[in-house]
Amino acid sequence: MLKIINVVGARPNFIKVAPIVAAMKRREREFAPLLVHTGQHYDADMSDAFFRDLDLPAPDIHLGVGSAPRDQQLAAVEERFAPVLVKEKPDWVLVVGDVNSTLACARAAKKSGTRVAHVEAGLRSYDWSMPEESNRVETDRIADLLFTPSADAGDNLRAEGMPPERISLVGNIMIDSLYQHLERSRQSPVREQLGLMEKSYAVLTLHRPANVDDPIVFGRILAALETITQTLPVVFPVHPRTRKTIANLGLQERIEKMKGLRLIEPLGYLDFLSLYSGARLVLTDSGGIQEETTQLGIPCLTLRENTERPITVTLGTNKIVGTDTGTIIAAASAALAESPRQPVSIPLWDGHTAERILAALSTVS
């Protein structure tokens, strides 16, 4: 039996780890999963909602690190995770994505001689101003098994000199959660509560410091929204950090003047899935939403200059538009002028990634 510590640190991790832990529990004679929550992002109400929505068991161990500058957070997670490894003596530490907890726990595991598996390995934006890029690259250097979501991610790893035997193309774990919970999400009352008809609104997510901390950049995005909201309403679940920035930059009055821009509180997984799966258009600076909208055939405008998920552009419905006002408006107009698209089929984005991950772990001696 393989004892595996599954690490979560932020809400995107919950979505990725949930199907893996569920698959391990279905194979209880082969796998003994432990769930460690670092507490990197910790809001009790939101965390509880995500765990409940995803049928994710309560963490076996909570490190309680909390928010801090990146270097301090990396050090704190590594320091608190190291004794867990000594006590539990796992066969593998499985980390997902690119948050600080991913890298810190991979570092601690490597130092203890514990094997590391990285889910979503090989993604590259080549934008070193993003801490996530550093986290991705260093975690891939450390990991013993590199689970890639798409062929381009494997190409990136091989180009960096990674041994082919460490690379395993398994598909997109986010899509496992999407397929498992899409039907349940349709029972959410969120659209009815907001008075929204399907395909009659857009959804916006915005949280990256490069977009929300710079008043000039944030202003360009708001200028685009001032035009877009004249065509259809835009629903904006506001990240707590973004809400604070809006107040600090004195943008509240400008936002309130946009009658078509509706600011709401952050949503749990099922409510948010219900909201964006019914949207006509999504605007985001997030990563995972680019993949989920592609799978559902929803036009997505990524408010960044690059993406670590280029397959969503080449095969999917995603378009990189940056933060130029005119470019955003033109792309939104073009997307709304198109006929609604059908869901996109990308190889191995089929809801069975967790099973392929477990199969690969089982075959490594």
pLDDT tens figures, 317-344? 999 999 999 999 999 999 999 988 778 8
Domains of the chain: total: 2
294 within a domain of the structure (yes/no): yes
CATH number at residue 78: 3.40.50.2000
61 and 208 inside one domain = no
Q: How far apart are CA 89 and CA 77, in angstroms?
A: 18
161 and 197 inside one domain = no
67 and 142 inside one domain = yes
342 within a domain of the structure (yes/no): no
Output the CA angle 140-144-149, nearest 5 degrees. Answer: 55
pLDDT for residue 236 is more than 90: yes
Q: Which of 56-65, 120-129, 338-347, 353-362 has the lowest mean pLDDT?
A: 338-347
Single out the catalytic residue among 41, 62, 118, 207: 207
107 and 210 inside one domain = no
111 and 49 inside one domain = yes
152 and 242 inside one domain = no
100 and 228 inside one domain = no
Domain, as residue range, for 146? 2-171+349-363
Q: Which residues of 206-217 are buried (b: 16+ CB within 10 A; e: fewer)?
A: bbbebbbeeeeb
41 and 109 inside one domain = yes
Mean pLDDT within 150-173? 97
Q: Residue 258: enclosing H or E segment and its boundaries?
A: none
135 and 237 inside one domain = no
Looking at residue 118, its pLDDT comes to 98
194 and 316 inside one domain = yes
265 and 122 inside one domain = no
Residues near 184 by Cβ (< 8 Å), separated by ≥ 6?
270
Is 207 marked active-site?
yes
What the block records as the tokens of 172 is 């997109």
With 0-12 CB in 10 A as exposed, 13-18 as middle and 19+ as buried, what is 265?
exposed
Strand-strand pairing, 300-302 and 318-320: parallel
What the block records as the tokens of 150 is 């798409």
Of the candidates 111, 167, 117, the one whose C-alpha atom is nearest the C-alpha of residue 2 is 117
